[in-house]
Amino acid sequence: EPEVTQTPSHQVTQMGQEVILRCVPISNHLYFYWYRQILGQKVEFLVSFYNNEISEKSEIFDDQFSVERPDGSNFTLKIRSTKLEDSAMYFCASSGTSGRRSYNEQFFGPGTRLTVL
């Protein structure tokens, strides 16, 4: 069964360093998302990406964050200068079908635990 994969599973970095989190969405999906979950808290939307551009972003997704789909398979989240408060689990998700009004279930990857020291 197709699944979303993420690497690395755990990333430890120093404050101020850049990190890139990688995701491989399900191959025929069209919509891509990043969410984050601070330990013990709820899952929060960061950004959605469709047709090679950001379609929506949250207040959390400031200038320190960027997303890219560098080739036909990978979807990356970059944090330019990490802060302590960026420590969280980051989930990638993807969903399929076209843009018409239809049911679009999101499938989540296993997550990358980011620890900023």
Q: Tell me, what amino acid is at 46?
A: L
CB of 81 to another protein, least distance (A): 26
- Alpha carbons 39 and 42: distance in angstroms, whole number: 8
Site for another protein (CB under 8 A): how many residues?
30
Closest CA to 33 of 45, 24, 44: 45
Q: How does DSSP classify residue 86?
A: G
The CA-CA-CA angle for residues 72, 76, 79, to 5°, reads 160
Minimal distance in Å, beta carbon 64 to another protein? Answer: 20
Q: How far is the CB of 88 from another protein (least distance, A)?
A: 13
What is the footprint of another protein within residues 28-87 (CB under 8 A)?
31, 33, 35, 41-45, 48-51, 55-56
Stretch that binds another protein, among 13-21, 60-68, 71-79, 98-106 (CB under 8 A): 98-106
Q: Which of 75, 77, 86, 111 binds another protein (CB under 8 A)?
A: 111
